[in-house]
Amino acid sequence: MDRIKQLRKDKGLSQQALAEQIGLHYRTLQNWENGYGEISIGKAKKLAEYFGVSVGYLLGIDDVSAKDNITDLIAKVNEWAISNGLDKSDPKTQWKKAIDGDMLETIIEIAHQLNLLAYEEIKNRKGKMINGTFVKEEDL
């Protein structure tokens, strides 16, 4: 897995040093880096935590690491909110909607995933402001 190798090299670690730090035999790590064998979920989580990235990023599923994308994600969500007029909405109405679940679900997804999955879900969302609340097109 190229991503593991890249992350290891970015930290300036040898295979031996990384293997010792996370409790692996260096040959196991070497095999993973060379595309042999499969990494278990537990080991993937351990490596992802060590490097401060998501498991998806570690495994090459996501292109953006958690540490690199949180600021970008916040900026994109803010941009989306402004472009949809949420900055002009009534906070009490928005809070009620959050409690009702729609906004809260999105916020929880962002916080838990720390990647662009939630943003990818909302970035093309269409709708309009009605009585100070953004209403999704499918709810109109």
Most confident of 10-19, 61-70, 73-82, 99-108: 10-19
Residue whose tokens read 């909302």: 122
Phi, psi of 135 (to 5 degrees): -115, 125
Q: At the fourth CATH level, which superfamily is domain 2-58?
A: lambda repressor-like DNA-binding domains (1.10.260.40)
How confident is the model over 81-138, as pLDDT tens digits? 778 777 777 777 766 666 665 665 666 655 655 555 556 667 778 888 887 777 888 8
Of 45, 60, 56, 54, the C-alpha closest to 5 is: 60
Q: What is the pTM of this model?
A: 0.46
Q: Tell me the average pLDDT across 68-87.
A: 73
Residue ranges matching CATH 1.10.260.40 in the chain: 2-58
Pair of tokens at residue 58: 């570690």
